[in-house]
Structure 1
Amino acid sequence: MDDNPEPKDLEKRRKFLVLLAVLAASCTYQAGINPPGGFWTDNNDGHRAGYPMFHDEFPHRYMVFFYLNSTAFMSSLAVIMLLVSKRLCQRGINGYLLRGCMLLDLVSLMGAFAAGSCRKVSTSVYAILVVSIVCAYVMVQVLVLTFAKDKSTSIRELQAKHHGQPKPEHKWRKDLILIGTLAVSVTYQAGLLPPGGLWPDDRDGHFISDPILHDTDPPRYKAFFYCNATAFMASVVIVILLLNRTISKYRRSLLPMKTAMVLDLLALLGAYAAGSCRKLKTSIYVFALVIAVFMYIVIHILLSFDKMARLVKKTGEQWIPCLKKMWALIETETPNHHPSSEEEP
């Protein structure tokens, strides 16, 4: 048993930061090379082929997206380079350098997502509102847990009480890290390049570089956008709470992180159901799967409570003998009428 848990703690944090930085760098690199809205294919009407449509149609929004996405990409690279060196890694994790870079990375990701995934006022307001709620929520968590240090029990103290044995909280954090980083990457890409593609021209009343699905099936697009944006922001909440050492080392921080994880997964289900289907038949099938998954989770949550589990067990014990008797009666019951065999001539 290792008496000094500090190196292990540093290694865990290093792996978490490397995973997050690599995924963020890959997302922002792809988004920078292929920005939302696509590219012009000709030199007509004053634009140039190969230039982003988004830049000409929404110049201010494009500049916000470009600068924030570039900032997130450079911050991710800075974190990766700092983590390569063992000396810089140890100093950075113990200090505020790496955490500051990752916080800048995540904030820039949220801003780039809000600027690049929206075209309309309603979706822009929703994205900005969710970003503000995320920032306010994280600040509240930091303040609450900072002033409640003396009354809170840290994970390390619990490990010391249990002779250094890892508690389930550490396993939860590993799962949350994987779920959060994966969801951030997929929802970021899906928000910038929505399903259905983008309009290549301004004909028939639509606008160039706007999502095609928004005009052909507005309810489906809105369902996808709101669910995808909610999943992205919930994932960012998970990552920020795990990144902040003041929050993540206390047991009470697991509840908001688990809540964000459930919201994240449900929003991912809704976004997939809305964005992956066009026909009624496939939509019904996917929504049926979503409802089945949701009911399955609810049943398991209910069964996790002792009272509900005892009630289900008691009900099952009452019904099983009745079912056995009914089955025995069916097997032993003889038919009242036997068809008479015809005599051969």
Structure 2
Amino acid sequence: MLLLAILAVSLAYQSGLNPPGGFWSRSTDHHSAADRILEDTHHRRFIAFFYLNAIAFVASIVMITLLLNKMASDKVTKRRALPITMIVVLLSLTGAFALGNCREANKTVFISVLVCSVLAYVLIHVLIAIHIIPPEWRRQVAEMLEHSVSHFCSVPCQFGHNHTGGDTSEKELGRRRNLLLTIAILAVTVTYQAGMNPPGGVWSDDQKATGTPGNPILQDTHPKRYDVFYYSNSVSFVSSVVVKILLVNKESCEYGIKSYALRVCLVAGLLGLLIAYVAGSCRNIKQSIYLSTIAMGVLVSLLIQVLLSSMHDTLGKPLAKCLGFLHDLLFHAEGEQVNTPVSPEASVDVRSEASVEVRPEASVVEEERVRKRHKYLMLLAILAASIAYQAGLNPPGGFWSDDKGHVSGNPVLRDINHRRFKIFFWFNSFAFMASIVVIILLLSKSIRKKAVPIGVLHLIMILDMLALMTAFAAGSCSKLRTSVYVYALVGCVVVILLLLIIVTSAIAKYWKPREGSGINSLRRPEPVSGANTSA
């Protein structure tokens, strides 16, 4: 509740101080400078947006205040006042989003219908999964998928996941709920801000501007591209808001997670983010085709993974050997650190198909270690996706606001320094696409069961961070020398960290035998063999 309230406060505060449509830059008879454009051009729409945004902001502040007081928090939690208030806040944000990111009534109605449609889909999905599909069929399908994944990867299933109650335990449901909530917060944050400040900017009251002040420039210069961006961004926002509404209630959260309905909504929201990024960050067909090809490659790779896991009888063993060889070749150091203790009675090869007896303590430690690494990778991917999405829709340098010698709404950096803009655009797009790939892979249950080596995901995130660094160097600097300084600074930081690691390792090796000798010197002398000593 506190996390959702903080999210709502940040979004409502930013959109309240910087409302959609911008501000007037000159004082005339009808308005003054710094007044809100949308208030004069679309008065009713702005009033509705203002009050809905204010309701979300004030209610979130009250929730945070109550949660900070333990006694008040216990009382409102027992009477379910907080979940009801949070649902009101999320619906208020949805209404403010529908009124602020467009100027047409049919698009506002579209978002309202979309909210009802997503809620109806989740309800139907849950009812079908619980009351219509027999439990025996669900159990058989789960066993077939688990057997397929484990046989295809030639590794045992992840420790701690059994057929009886591992996936339906309270602890496992809490972990899945936190995972879904984190991804939903990412999607809501970036899509809400992109809707309030659309790519290309809005028309100003400059005399050279040809459009209506406060309206999106991209809507007039590239109407089809703007429609694709608007509807994709809206689908991602609405699906994420619905997921958060359902996660607030414990019953709907449990049924939605078990039936995979919430996960389907989040995957649809992530695909909507991909399409919105392609439509909003490009201005020509070549760039759109390039990004669309990357997005289709992501979907095809996921489909191939599912098909290969289902055809384990024909392709499973050779492909598993190939994957094992590549994993040992690329991540040999990582594999040496993972030592799975095996009992003497069952000392068999780990890669064989025979069963391996694992000590419970080691299995719990291994499961917790893998889960933590998945969590860190998910947080890094969410961070990279959020900043890359915002930078792609609002690139450095801003947009042209008039039609004199250029096209309104096009990035200024693209016309002034085309090569630098291309470097920023390609590397930023790669970072965004790679982050979405990692998020979708970590949402898959087979990944948590080690269907893909975690070293591969580490490699993708390292390339992701390098791409973000390159995009930052190209977009934040205007000269080549300044861009080189960025890489030099990164190199200096890496060298300093390596030196610190070497020095601390040497100190640890130097003091370890001394500590051991000091401890041994303090021990009592062992009794002479044969002497009568008491127990």
TM-score normalised according to structure 1 size: 0.78
Letter in 2 for 1:260: I
- The aligned counterpart of 2:245 is 81
Letter in 1 for 2:200: G
- The aligned counterpart of 1:53 is 217
Q: What pairs up with 1:85-164 in 2 under 5 angstroms?
A: 85-148=249-312, 162-164=362-364
Q: 1:263 to 1:86 in 2, by over 3 A?
A: same
Greater alpha carbon shift after TM alignment, 187-196 vs 283-292: 283-292
Q: Are residues 1:287 and 2:487 paired?
A: yes
Q: Secondary structure at the match of 2:364?
A: coil
Q: What is the CA-CA distance between 1:259 and the residue it aligns to? A: 2.8
Letter in 1 for 2:218: F
Q: What is the CA-CA distance between 1:248 and the residue it aligns to? A: 2.8
Q: What pairs up with 1:163-312 in 2 under 5 angstroms?
A: 163-167=363-367, 168-204=369-405, 206-250=406-450, 252-290=452-490
1:21 aligns with one of 170, 174, 184: 184
CA-to-partner distance for each residue in 1:269-328, whole Å, 9 max, x for gaps? 11111111113432220132345568899x89xx9xxxxxxxxx9xxxxxxxxxxxxxxx
Q: Is the 8 A contact 2:239 2:265 kept in 1?
A: yes
Greater alpha carbon shift after TM alignment, 271-280 vs 236-245: 271-280
CA-to-partner distance for each residue in 1:21-52, whole Å, 9 max, x for gaps? 01110110011111101111239776311110
Q: Is the 8 A contact 1:146 1:246 kept in 2?
A: no
Indicate the percent of aligned positions where both proteins have the same amino acid: 42
Letter in 1 for 2:201: G
- The aligned counterpart of 2:170 is 7
Q: 1:289 to 1:139 in 2, by over 3 A?
A: farther
Q: What pairs up with 1:293-332 in 2 under 5 angstroms?
A: none
Letter in 2 for 1:144: L
Q: Is the 8 A contact 1:241 1:248 kept in 2?
A: no
Q: Is the 8 A contact 1:159 1:166 kept in 2?
A: no
Q: What is the CA-CA distance between 1:104 and the residue it aligns to? A: 0.4
Q: Secondary structure at the match of 1:278?
A: coil
Q: Is the 8 A contact 1:169 1:251 kept in 2?
A: no
Greater alpha carbon shift after TM alignment, 39-48 vs 240-249: 39-48
- Structure 2, unaligned runs of 5 or more: 1-159, 321-350, 352-356, 507-535
1:35 aligns with one of 198, 217, 220: 198
Q: Distance in 2 between matches of 1:112 and 1:294?
A: 36
Q: Distance in 2 between matches of 1:225 and 1:198?
A: 15
Q: Is the 8 A contact 2:210 2:402 kept in 1?
A: no
Letter in 2 for 1:223: I
Q: Distance in 1 between matches of 2:266 and 2:358?
A: 28
Q: 1:272 to 1:46 in 2, by over 3 A?
A: closer
Q: 1:135 to 1:161 in 2, by over 3 A?
A: farther
Q: Distance in 2 between matches of 1:191 and 1:158?
A: 48
RMSD over aligned CA atoms reads 3.0
Q: What is the CA-CA distance between 1:145 and the residue it aligns to? A: 3.6
- Structure 1, unaligned runs of 5 or more: 304-312, 314-345
Q: 1:269 to 1:67 in 2, by over 3 A?
A: same
Letter in 2 for 1:177: M
Q: Is the 8 A contact 1:24 1:72 kept in 2?
A: yes
Q: Distance in 1 between matches of 2:302 and 2:240?
A: 21
Q: What is the CA-CA distance between 1:164 and the residue it aligns to? A: 2.5
Q: What is the CA-CA distance between 1:71 and the residue it aligns to? A: 0.3
Q: What is the CA-CA distance between 1:237 and the residue it aligns to? A: 0.4
Letter in 1 for 2:179: F
Q: Is the 8 A contact 1:138 1:240 kept in 2?
A: no
CA-to-partner distance for each residue in 1:112-164, whole Å, 9 max, x for gaps? 000000012222121111111111122222333454599899xxx97958352
Q: Distance in 2 between matches of 1:141 and 1:296?
A: 41
TM-score normalised according to structure 2 size: 0.51
Q: Is the 8 A contact 2:425 2:471 kept in 1?
A: yes
Q: Distance in 2 between matches of 1:109 and 1:91?
A: 26
Letter in 2 for 1:226: W
Letter in 2 for 1:248: R
Q: 1:252 to 1:286 in 2, by over 3 A?
A: same
